């Protein structure tokens, strides 16, 4: 689903940086053209090694996850590509391939492995492919020229392993920048929080990919190409486990979305209200620099923030709780928290729902966001032209005990950019 457009604030949303969106694919394209021209001119080096690593990358693409959120959809392919870029020896014999061949083999294998996905209508995932080409190119530029010149011939043991880990850490930082920059250009969200979120997300699967790539490069140096299938199995099993986890998480999100619609189906709140509050709330949370885990709690709480109204005998007209007395708001919020706790949802979500009506100085950040965004949505709803601007100004003029000023200003920035986020549970 696409997010609803922001209510008018009297400002024209800033258009996304279109040129910046094509910067990563454009740089990847230029790198690929140069590398292909170099390989075609000089010919490939050590073809069996290139075919072995190319086959591993292609297999990784064949088993790539589709239709699920994933920071690294093809971990086996990414690990194989990094191992090829950082390969020093093959069973004691020096590896001679250069940067151009590394990039060319990774690109060709990735495209080959993507053919079945394209045939099934999934399409070619251009952005991840461009990022992989650039990150592998970065790792190869840092390592291959020095390795081919014999600079690392006398490095051994822990020193050489630490060298590979340091290069992989720099490559990870490069990949995070390449992921955050287009998101910043597309949405207008602050670059710093986006980069921090990318780095936080890379602690899991990306760390495993980098470690596997380093181990593969070291193992092939000693045992030869037979080490590749041996060290591929653990990552394939981890990928299978992650798929099951992603399926469980998707079902969990769908359950929460269904619970959130209960108030709409019962006629307590207008259709789409919870979804709009969640989408706008997540965008405000991103603007304030919340982490991925905090954004998930915020999203779930925003979807379920009105569920306490199901306990009311007489529904609130149009579900508008923002103008109710503070005591009544707190009663509804506590009822909602009790309902959330009975559903088995994370207790942190219930806390946010319970405290959304508390004085803002006593609330956690997520509860402050839900309170502000819910009030804005209710006040701007059906207000006609300029209703959003009037609602925002009303929130600004309210006392500090009602709405957190920093959240109101973050909301204003989000509305000015038009950078809404559709809640994933919807």
Q: Looking at the 3D structure of the chain, how many domains does it have? A: 2
Of residues 386 and 216, the one with the higher pLDDT is 216
What's the pLDDT score for residue 272?
82
The residue among 370, 347, 346 whose CA lies nearest residue 360 is 370
Share of the chain above pLDDT 90, in %: 14
For residue 64, the model assigns a pLDDT of 75
Question: Is residue 228 in some structural domain?
Answer: yes
How does the average pLDDT of the chain come out, rounded?
80
184 and 73 in a single domain? The answer is yes
Residues 226 and 267 in one domain: no
Pair of tokens at residue 276? 């709009």
| pLDDT at res. 255 | 78
Long-range contacts of the stretch 368-372 (C-beta < 8 A, 24+): 368/403, 368/404, 368/407, 369/281, 369/284, 369/285, 369/288, 369/298, 369/302, 369/407, 370/277, 370/281, 370/298, 370/301, 370/302, 370/305, 371/403, 371/404, 372/284, 372/403, 372/404, 372/407, 372/408, 372/411
Give the separation between CA 376 and CA 379, rounded to whole angstroms.
Answer: 5
Q: What is the pLDDT of residue 6?
A: 40
186 and 72, same domain (yes or no): yes
> Is the sign of the CA dihedral 233, 238, 243, 248 positive or negative?
positive
Last residue of a domain, one of 224, 248, 272: 248
Asked whether the beta carbons of 69 and 125 are under 8 A apart, the reply is no
One domain, residues 33 and 173: yes
Rounded distance, CA 380 to CA 406, Å? 19
113 and 241 fall within a common domain: yes
Q: What's the rounded Cα separation, in Å, for the pair 359 and 357? A: 7
- The predicted structure's pLDDT at residue 53: 93
Lowest mean pLDDT, pick from 5-14, 121-130, 231-240, 312-321: 5-14
Q: Which domain holds residue 402?
A: 261-417
Which residues touch 342 (CB under 8 Å, ≥6 apart)? none
Residues 145, 174: one domain? yes
Q: What is the pLDDT of residue 323?
A: 66
Task: Report percent pLDDT > 70 for the chain.
Answer: 85
Of 235-249, 316-330, 352-366, which one has max mean pLDDT?
352-366
Whether 224 is covered by a domain: the verdict is yes
pTM comes to: 0.70
Residue 417 has pLDDT above 60, yes or no: yes
pLDDT above 80: residue 134 = yes
**Do residues 125 and 94 share a domain?**
yes
Query: Is the Cβ–Cβ distance between 112 and 57 less than 8 Å?
Result: no
Instruction: Identify the pLDDT of residue 2.
Output: 37
Higher pLDDT, 121 or 133: 133
Average pLDDT on 394-403 reads 76
Q: 243 and 265: one domain? A: no
The CATH number of the domain holding residue 379 is 1.10.3210.10
Counts for the chain of helices (H) and strands (E), in that order: 18, 2
Token readout for 189 is 């969200």
Of 16-30, 44-58, 132-146, 158-172, give the lowest mean pLDDT range: 16-30
Does 58 share its domain with 189?
A: yes
Q: State the Cα–Cα distance between residues 70 and 206, nearest whole angstrom.
A: 10
- Same domain? For 95 and 139 the reply is yes
Position 421 pLDDT exceeds 50: no
Tell me: the pLDDT tens digits for 293-347? Answer: 888 889 998 888 888 877 776 667 666 676 677 778 888 888 888 888 887 777 8
pLDDT in tens, 192-217: 877 887 887 777 677 778 888 888 88
């Amino acid at each position: 689903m696409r997010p609803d457009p922001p209510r008018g604030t009297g400002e024209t949303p800033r258009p996304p940086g279109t040129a910046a969106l094509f910067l990563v694919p454009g740089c990847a394209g230029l790198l690929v053209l140069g590398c292909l021209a170099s390989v075609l001119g000089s010919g490939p080096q050590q073809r069996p090694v290139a075919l072995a690593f190319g086959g591993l990358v292609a297999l990784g693409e064949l088993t790539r996850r589709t239709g699920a959120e994933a920071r690294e959809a093809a971990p086996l392919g990414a690990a194989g590509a990094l191992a090829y870029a950082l390969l020093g020896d093959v069973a004691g014999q020096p590896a001679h391939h250069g940067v151009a061949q590394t990039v060319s083999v990774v690109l060709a294998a990735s495209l080959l492995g993507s053919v079945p996905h394209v045939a099934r209508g999934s399409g070619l995932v251009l952005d991840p492919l461009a990022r992989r080409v650039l990150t592998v190119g970065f790792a190869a530029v840092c390592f291959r020229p020095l390795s081919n010149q014999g600079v690392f011939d006398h490095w051994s043991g822990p020193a050489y392993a630490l060298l590979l880990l340091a290069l992989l850490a720099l490559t990870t930082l490069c990949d995070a920048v390449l992921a955050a920059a287009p998101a910043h250009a597309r949405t207008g969200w602050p670059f710093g929080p986006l980069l921090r979120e990318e780095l936080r997300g890379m602690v899991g699967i990306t760390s495993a990919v980098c470690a596997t790539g380093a181990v593969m490069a070291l193992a092939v140096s000693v045992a030869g190409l037979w080490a590749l299938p041996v060290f591929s199995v653990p990552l394939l099993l981890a990928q299978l486990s992650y798929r099951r986890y992603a399926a469980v998480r998707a079902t969990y999100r769908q359950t929460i979305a269904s619970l959130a619609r209960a108030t709409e189906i019962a006629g307590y709140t207008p259709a789409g209200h919870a979804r709009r509050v969640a989408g706008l709330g997540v965008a405000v949370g991103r603007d304030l620099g919340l982490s991925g885990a905090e954004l998930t709690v915020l999203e779930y709480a925003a979807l379920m923030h009105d569920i306490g109204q199901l306990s009311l005998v007489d529904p609130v007209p149009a579900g508008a709780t923002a103008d109710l007395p503070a005591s009544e708001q707190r009663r509804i919020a506590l009822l909602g928290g009790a309902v959330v706790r009975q559903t088995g949802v994370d207790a942190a979500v219930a806390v946010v729902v319970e405290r959304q009506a508390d004085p803002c100085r006593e609330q956690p950040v997520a509860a402050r966001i839900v309170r502000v965004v819910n009030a804005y949505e209710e006040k701007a709803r059906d207000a006609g032209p300029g209703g959003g601007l009037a609602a925002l100004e009303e929130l600004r003029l309210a006392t500090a005990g009602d709405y957190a000023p920093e959240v109101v200003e973050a909301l204003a920035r989000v509305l000015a950019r038009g950078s809404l986020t559709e809640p994933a549970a919807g």
